[in-house]
Structure 1
Amino acid sequence: MSRSLVIKITAGDNDPERCNQAFTVAAAAVAAGVDVSLWLTGESAWFAVPGRAAEFSLPHAAPLEDLLDTVLAAGRVTLCTQCAARRGLTEEDLVAGVRIAGAAAFVEETLRDGAQALVY
């Protein structure tokens, strides 16, 4: 059975260590060959906007922009539908490769055989 990892990030600049940890785990899993789906929710929604990940800084941490690029290269990145709407974001506003989807898609991904879900 193939394993997959679904990671939901709820933190952004408001909790930089938790936010960076989620991106780091997602990128490490991608590098290990795991099927990764990264969900941006809450304050992490802003990292779906071009340039926002580059503005994030945390001492002794990999650049968030690099981590996001790693996940986009071999995994999936999704912005929560409601989180996008609350911030006035549409797919035209997002980094190439980021999609917008809602709770039904999240539930479907997390309930697949072999899926492991983590929430940060």
Structure 2
Amino acid sequence: MAQKLVIKVTAGADAPERCSQAFTVAAVAAASGVEVSLWLTGESAWFALPGKAAEFTLPHAAPLPELMEAVSASGGITLCSQCAARRSIGEEDVLDGVRIAGAQVFVSEIMADGTQALVY
């Protein structure tokens, strides 16, 4: 099993099933003891803001706030710096525990030994 799993989610409310799948896989991995790094990019960037995850609904899917909480407990959530800038989101705007970082940090994470990466 991978020591760390990096998941980049590019979808938000524009592709709800793909979005939900990414968050679900991240939360299940975290619950299984895997260190998870969840990257919010593209339309999923909005979920870094307070209250936005609670607005997302998909029948038969776990609520995003619960999934995000599970990931935060065992790993971390990162908002893409370019995605944040394009949406005028600053560090003062995001949920506690969400960091803003760029491609250099993403590449560093996925290149580490024992790391697996998924993109949704």
Q: Which band: TM-score by shorter chain?
A: over 0.9
Matched, 1:112 2:112: yes
Deviation at 1:54, TM superposition (A): 0.3
Q: Write the letter of the residue equivalent to 1:45.
A: A
2:69 aligned partner, one-letter code? D
2:66 aligned partner? 66
Structure 1 stretch 40-49 or stretch 65-74: which is displaced more?
Answer: 65-74
The answer to whether residue 96 in structure 2 is matched with residue 84 in structure 1 is no
Matched residue, 1:16: 16
Cα offset, 1:35, TM superposition: 0.7
Secondary structure in structure 1 of the residue aligned to 2:85: helix
Quote the residue 2:38 is aligned against: 38
Distance in 2 (alpha carbons) for counterparts of 1:68 and 1:83 = 19
* Residues 11-68 of structure 1 deviation map (CA, whole Å, 9 limit, x = unaligned): 0000000000000000000000001000000000000000000000000000011101
The alpha-carbon deviation at position 2 of structure 1 amounts to 5.9
Instruction: Give the structure 2 partner of residue 29 of structure 1.
Output: 29
Cα distance in 2 for partners of 1:16, 1:2 equals 27
Structure 2: stretches of 5+ with no match in the other structure? none
How many angstroms does 1:72 deviate by?
1.1
Return the alpha-carbon distance in structure 1 between the equivalents of residues 48 and 112 of structure 2. Answer: 25
TM-score (norm 2): 0.98
